[in-house]
Amino acid sequence: MGQHIVSRMSKPEGTRKNIVLMFDESEDVLEGLKKAMQEHALKECTIVDMNGSLKQIVMEPARGKRTLFKDTPAIAASGQYKLSFGDLYGHMKITTKEKNPVTGKFIAGKAGADLEMKISFVEK
């Protein structure tokens, strides 16, 4: 007798919602995200977009080493983060608006005066 595997797609129960985070100038981006997740009791979220300027950003381009950029506009971001035992785990890719746009892994950064990040989460 042959064996067969039954598969099915599952969808998280609840409603997907969005929040736009607005950062203060010089605020640490990951600390701001962590604070927002704690305030809204989120265990995980998806980074949907980012717009505005970053005073300082450390990123790791796909083919290169960690690089520090200053006063750089962000034009896109995506990623996922989880909050567990008070610590933030996850990753984010970001695209900056340079002469040639640079995309890479976000390591750390400080917000400019107009930085906004859109996050998505499932509300149960």
Strand 67-84 to 44-61 pairing: antiparallel
User: 53 pairs with which residues across the strands?
Assistant: 73
Residue 10 above 70 pLDDT? no
Burial class (CB in 10 A: 0-12, 13-18, 19+), 71: exposed
CATH fold of the domain at 15-123: 60s Ribosomal Protein L30; Chain: A; (3.30.1330)
Provide the pLDDT for residue 5.
65
| pTM metric for this prediction | 0.86
Residue 45 above 90 pLDDT? yes
For the chain, which residues make up each domain, given as ranges? 15-123
SS3 assignment, position 14 = coil
Average pLDDT over residues 52-75: 92
